A = this chain, B = another copy of it.
Amino acid sequence: MSYPPLEELAARVERFQEILRAENVDGVLLLQGADQVYFCGTTQSAHLYIPARGRALFLVRRSSSRIDPALVPAEVLPLRKPEEIPGLLAARGLAAPAVLGMELDVLPVNLFRRYEKIFPGEIVDCSPQIRKLRAVKSAYEIGLLKESAAMMDGVFAQIPGMLKAGMSELALAARVEAAARCAGHMGLIRVRGFNQEFFWGCLLAGPSGGVSSYFDGPLGGPGITPTFPFGVGRHIIAPGDPVMVDYVGVANGYQVDMTRVFALGHLPPDLLEAHNTSVAIQNALAAAARPGVAGGELYDLALEMAQRAGLAEHFMGYGDQVKFVAHGVGLELNELPVLARGVKEKLQAGMVVAIEPKFIFPGRGAVGVENTFVVREGGLERLTCFPDEVVII
């Protein structure tokens, strides 16, 4: 199992400590898996305390057997319960934080109230700073993203051999998921936030592609039960159905998001044309995107092209349209930046975005492409390389 170089992790902690000092936060206490992975390369049932100055503490309840102290940029100590933390800080000469950062975007109220008793100072939300820091990936992280991308290119290349007429979406999903697992997919897809119920992604054939859902994306899907009304359904795949496979690939913590359309025999010409419009929009965004360009500008460009193609009504949903065309990916599926209406924040080199211009046709299906790109100084570098065109089998 590959582990990030210690100097890489230490540099992440140092950059975050600079931000904390600039914002007058005395220390942060991080509980969430993805954030611990970012700073320590792994996660346990643990608290990661990062002071604005000084050495971080990785306080592990269970299982300390899983942490090699030589691999993390922190002193590793056992912890039974958070009430012990102030004593541990004091014993190490670390001041009690007057302003403590916590992940208030995900930390539940009941837990927070427990920490309020332990830390009588002010507790502020440090999640915006973490999300901003994590949005710009290092060369090491981009290397991991390339591993996930290569894995998914390999999985998508197997799909034409799996797809047969009369097969259900669910049966195809089972085969795609098994191929991804065999290729080293870790399974868990982290989506930051409350109630973000997600499993693999959307494999939607024909009318299933036109079904929207609770999930804030262009696709939804019927699901196979009303108790989880999202994603893969039971539609029997027939010739002419667009079979949209929008699955998230994650081999080593880092996610790539990728979508292709397959079809048995043929695809109706208007759907094929809409797919080609999606590819054209993606390519136009990829040509226009570079450091300094605002997310909102790129969204506007995508929307204009959809309008010119007469497809505005179908763009990024039908009825339940979402107002973005690309989102950041990394340890979580909903990272920064977002290429969405009105976004003023500018792209920076090292950001990673999944661009997904899609068109939804109720009762008929969804078409469009999605690829994951790194923002480089000169423009975008594409990570997922399987051809964009509809694959007719």
| Interface residues, chain A, with chain B CB atoms under 8 Å away | 1-3, 31-33, 37, 41-46, 62-63, 65-66, 102, 104-112, 125, 127, 170-171, 173-175, 177-179, 181-182, 184, 186-188, 190, 193-195, 197-200, 211-216, 220, 222-229, 231-232, 251-254, 319-320, 331
CA distance A33 to B193 in the complex (A): 13
Closest 5 CB pairs of A and B: A227-B253, A174-B181, A187-B199, A178-B178, A45-B214
* Structural contact, B251 and A225, CB atoms closer than 8 A: yes
* Copies of this protein chain in the complex: 2
Q: Which B residues are CB-close (under 8 A) to A32? A: 194-195
A254 CB contacts on chain B under 8 angstroms: 227
Chain B residue nearest to A168 (CB atoms) is B182
Report whether B3 and A226 are in contact in the complex, using a CB–CB cutoff of 8 Å. yes
Task: Select which of B45, B232, B251, B320 is within 8 A of A63 by beta carbon.
Answer: B320
**Would you give 15 A-B contacts (Cβ < 8 Å), ordered by A?**
A1-B223, A1-B225, A31-B195, A37-B226, A42-B229, A43-B229, A62-B214, A62-B320, A66-B220, A106-B195, A108-B108, A184-B224, A186-B224, A187-B199, A188-B197
Instruction: Provide the bound-state CA to CA distance between A125 and B109, in Å.
Output: 9
Determine how close the nearest CB of chain B comes to the CB of A174; give it in whole angstroms: 4
A228 touches B214 (CB 8 A): no
Question: What is the CA–CA distance of A224 and B188 in the complex, to the nearest angstrom?
Answer: 11
User: A213 touching B62 by the CB < 8 A rule?
Assistant: yes
Contact B107 A33 (CB under 8 A): no
A interface: dominant SS: loop
- Residue numbers in B under 8 Å from A223 (CB-CB): 1, 186
Q: Which of these, B125, B190, B226, B231, contacts A110 with CB under 8 Å?
A: B125
Instruction: Name A31's closest neighbour in chain B (CB-CB).
Output: B195
Asked if residues A33 and B197 are in contact (CB atoms below 8 Å), the reply is yes
Q: How far is the CB of A186 from the nearest CB of chain B, in Å?
A: 5
Task: List chain B residues, Cβ under 8 A from A175.
Answer: 178
**Given A105-B110, A225-B251, 20 additional A-B pairs, CB 8 A:** A1-B223, A2-B226, A31-B194, A32-B195, A33-B195, A33-B228, A43-B197, A43-B227, A43-B229, A62-B214, A63-B214, A65-B211, A104-B108, A104-B109, A104-B110, A174-B177, A177-B181, A186-B225, A186-B227, A188-B197
Inter-subunit contact B195/A66 (CB<8 Å):
no
| CB within 8 Å for A188 and B178 given contacts A37-B227, A108-B108, A214-B62 | no
Give chain B residues whose Cβ lies under 8 Å from the Cβ of A214. 43-46, 62-63, 66
Are A182 and B197 CB-contacts (below 8 A) given A62-B320, A65-B320, A229-B42? Answer: no
A102 to B213, CA, bound (A): 23
Query: CB < 8 Å: which of B41, B105, B199 contacts A226?
Result: B41
Q: What residues of chain B lie closer than 8 Å to A186, measured between beta carbons?
A: 199, 223-225, 227-228
Contacts of A182 in B (CB 8 A): 170-171, 174
Chain B nearest CB from A381 CB (Å) reads 23
B contact residues around A216 at 8 Å (CB): 45, 62
Given A109-B108, A213-B66, check contact A42 B199 (CB 8 Å).
no
A162 → chain B closest CB, angstroms: 11
- How many Å lie between the Cα of A182 and that of B172 in the bound state? 9
